[in-house]
């Protein structure tokens, strides 16, 4: 089986869970990371997958549009299975995504949580917790789910602070655009769990490298629109730290919607990252997806638009749509 997985904590923890499961049932697996920051068939190395001659393809935690999944199936000539929790259209077969089928994000906060319904994860609950913490971040505080996760990880001698730290360590790899480190982190999780990540000197070095980059980014961050409902920021960096900066801004401005327009020079892409702790953005995301040719993905409280060139028109479209659909509520 070939496995395409997302590059963040939830994606790597999900891949590690599947890797352990497939090993138990003697199924050979190869792991493939799409081009970081892009959610489309063009981000997937089809030649690399074909060389593995898989009998099936599994897509984990990677919110690629359904029509691209159909294209993948035709191009590779194998069944494609999807396990995910991002907002998407529904695919009629081999599609395990409760959020796309109408469930609330609180019910399925991570792809690792979806996997609990599909495979035995009792000996890997630290990985389940890592996926949840990686996706929810500080939004976990105050939720009933927090005590459930604490119960999951207590048998491993871990605390939630350990899981937060492990998530930061794992995510440092993709934020630095370091593919070999992403593979290393996934392999470490599969072999030694969260504790293996926490004790890895190699991954500690990646985290330190990232912290230096974040310090530079915070100094360069610009507030360009300070509205009551929407606050717009601009940033340019060489690393892919969009979600990290965006989450901090959303936590700082809890009663607003933050829009971060982030140019990632290392990818030659710009991201419009929209997040809110207060407002559900699903309606805005779905309206934007229907409004035309726009590369967008996300969940109830966050979505991202990817641009290859000037994003000015997209920024105005998103800004107007937020005011139209949420302005009265705000």
Domains and CATH numbers, the chain: 2-205 (3.90.1640.30), 221-326 (3.10.310.40)
pLDDT band, very low/low/confident/very high, at 137 (cuts 50, 70, 90): confident
Say whether pLDDT at 290 is over 90.
no
Name 74's Cβ contacts closer than 8 Å, sequence gap at least 6: none
E-only strand ranges, 91-198: 95-96
| Strands of the sheet with 79-83, listed across from one edge | 30-32, 2-5, 56-60, 79-83, 95-96
Name the pairing type of β-strands 257-264 and 269-275.
antiparallel
Given a cut of 90, is residue 139 above it in pLDDT?
no
pLDDT(316) > 90: yes
What pLDDT was estimated at residue 293? 80
- 260-264 contact pairs (CB < 8 A, 24+): 260/232, 260/233, 260/234, 260/235, 261/232, 261/233, 261/234, 261/235, 261/311, 261/315, 262/234, 262/235, 262/236, 262/237, 263/235, 263/236, 263/237, 264/37, 264/237, 264/238, 264/239, 264/240
- pLDDT bucket at 254, cuts 50 / 70 / 90: very high
Give the whole-angstrom CA distance, residue 233 versus residue 243: 13
Task: Report how far residue 7's alpha carbon sits from residue 11's, in angstroms, rounded to the nearest whole number.
Answer: 6
pLDDT > 70: percent of the chain = 99
Q: State the pLDDT at residue 328.
A: 62
Which pLDDT tens digit goes with each residue over 36-61?
988 889 999 999 999 999 999 999 99
Beta bridge partners of 272: 261, 305
Per-residue pLDDT at 261 exceeds 80: yes
**Residue range 100-127, pLDDT digits in tens:** 999 998 899 999 999 999 999 999 999 9
């Amino acid at each position: 089986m070939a496995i395409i997985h997302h590059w963040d904590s939830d994606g790597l923890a999900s891949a590690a869970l599947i890797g352990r499961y497939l090993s138990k049932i003697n199924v050979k697996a190869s792991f493939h990371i799409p081009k970081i920051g892009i959610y489309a068939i063009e981000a997937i190395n089809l030649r690399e997958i074909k060389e593995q001659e898989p009998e099936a393809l599994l897509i984990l935690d990677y919110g690629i549009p359904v029509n691209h999944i159909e294209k993948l199936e035709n191009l590779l000539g194998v069944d494609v299975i999807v396990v995910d929790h991002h907002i998407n259209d529904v695919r009629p077969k081999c599609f395990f995504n409760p959020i796309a089928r109408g469930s609330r994000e609180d019910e399925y906060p991570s792809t690792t949580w979806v996997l609990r319904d599909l495979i035995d994860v009792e000996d890997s609950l630290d990985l389940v917790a890592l996926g949840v913490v990686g996706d929810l971040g500080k939004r976990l505080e105050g939720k009933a789910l927090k005590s459930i996760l604490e119960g999951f990880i207590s048998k491993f001698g871990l605390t939630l602070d350990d899981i937060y730290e492990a998530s930061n360590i794992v995510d440092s790899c993709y934020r630095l655009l370091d593919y070999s480190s992403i593979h290393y982190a996934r392999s470490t999780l599969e072999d030694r769990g969260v504790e293996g990540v926490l004790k890895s000197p190699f991954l500690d070095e990646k985290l330190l490298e990232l912290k230096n980059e974040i310090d530079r980014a915070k100094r360069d961050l610009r507030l360009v629109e300070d509205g009551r409902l929407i606050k717009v920021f601009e940033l340019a960096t060489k690393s892919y730290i969009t979600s990290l900066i965006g989450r901090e801004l959303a936590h700082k401005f809890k009663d607003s919607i933050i829009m971060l327009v982030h140019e990632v020079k290392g990818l030659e892409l710009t991201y419009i990252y929209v997040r809110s702790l207060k407002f559900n953005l699903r309606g805005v995301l779905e309206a934007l997806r229907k409004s035309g040719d726009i590369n967008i993905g996300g969940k109830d409280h966050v979505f991202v638009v990817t641009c290859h060139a000037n994003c000015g028109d997209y920024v105005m479209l998103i800004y107007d749509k937020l005011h139209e659909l949420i302005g009265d509520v705000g």
